[in-house]
Amino acid sequence: MRIDRFLQINTLYSRQTVRRLIAEQRVRVDSVTVSDPRYEITEFCRVELDAQLLQSTQARYYMLHKPPGVVSATEHAEHTTVLDLLAPPLREGLHIAGRLDLKTTGLLLLTNDGKWSRRITQPEEKVPKVYRVQTKDPVAPETAAVFARGIYFGYENITTSPAQLQLLDSHTARLTIYEGRYHQVKRMFGHLENEVVGLHRERMGGIVLDPGLQPGEYRPLSLAEIHAF
Ligand code: URA
């Protein structure tokens, strides 16, 4: 948003007054005086007018090792949510960047930065998501080729992007997909009439689940991890 618009909304000064305040060098963004009313700010810029602090929201990013039986939602009537696993002062304003099903375990990302989470979750961005999959029946020999061609999902009327399958043993595989459609991995195996009995997310783009995190534990992302998208 432009700084003049932000000031109009947040101070209720007229457009003319806002322009004057900016021209008088009374507005600072991230500790630097702004002189252009068209200057673009984000929700995470610190904005001051004279000595008055108008905005100072910190962008926050966490990885959490999701345990089974915890729901990927911010509120739920029956189940513990992933937000319940965080210390109460940290929960405010966070949302999930790419949900996991109730029984699925592994890497879950939480943030208050909507632009960042959209870069991870929007199918057009083609961010790789890597899962370890356990199946009820042996993984059929044609599975890798079928997944590499893509599978048609009638409900969404899309064909999944080419996915890579690496067989780890007869009933276990590592699967890399590039979208995050509803129950995507289960539906892909379902297409070959095999049932997923265990699912664990190991990686999203450049962010790998920290092996030091036990199920239910979390930590802030490093700068390098935040910038991995
Ligand atoms: N695909 C699924 O089917 N479930 C998940 O939790 C994640 C991907």
pLDDT tens digits along 159-172: 999 999 999 999 99
CA 72 to chain centre: 12
Pair 196, 185: CB distance under 8 Å: yes
Could you tell me the two tokens for 76?
């739920």
State the DSSP H helix or E strand holding residue 132, giving kind and residue range, or none if neither.
strand 129-135
Three-state SS for 88? helix
Confidence check: pLDDT of 37 > 90: yes
Measured from the Cα of 100, ligand 1's closest atom is: 6
pLDDT in tens, 88-102: 999 999 999 999 999
Output the CA 213–ligand 1 centroid distance in Å. 21
What value, to the nearest 5°, has the Cα angle with vertex 189 and ends 151 and 228?
75
Instruction: Out of 186, 188, 197, give the residue to mutate to test ligand 1, the one with the largest number of ligand atoms within 8 Å of its CB.
Output: 186
Q: Which residues approach ligand 1 with their CB closer than 6 A?
A: 100-101, 104, 183-186, 199
Output the CA 37–ligand 1 centroid distance in Å. 46
- Asked about 50 being catalytic, the answer comes back as no
Pair 209, 106: CB distance under 8 Å: yes
pTM of the predicted protein model: 0.88
What value, to the nearest 5°, has the Cα angle with vertex 22 and ends 17 and 24?
95
Q: Atom 3 (ligand 1): residue with closest C-alpha?
A: 183
Ramachandran angles phi, psi of 190, nearest 5° = -60, -35
Report in angstroms the alpha-carbon separations of 167 from 35, 51, 131, 137, 142.
Answer: 59, 61, 12, 13, 11
Distance separating alpha carbons of residues 7 and 140, to the nearest angstrom:
61
Measured from the Cα of 103, ligand 1's closest atom is: 6
pLDDT class of 74 with cuts at 50, 70, 90:
confident
Mean pLDDT estimate for the chain: 96
Distance separating alpha carbons of residues 190 and 216, to the nearest angstrom:
29
Confidence check: pLDDT of 12 > 90: no
Output the CA 192–ligand 1 centroid distance in Å. 16
The pLDDT value recorded for residue 229 is 81
Output the CA 136–ligand 1 centroid distance in Å. 16
Could you tell me the two tokens for 131?
């899962």
Could you tell me the two tokens for 102?
């109730």
- Which of 4, 36, 101, 137 is catalytic? The answer is 101
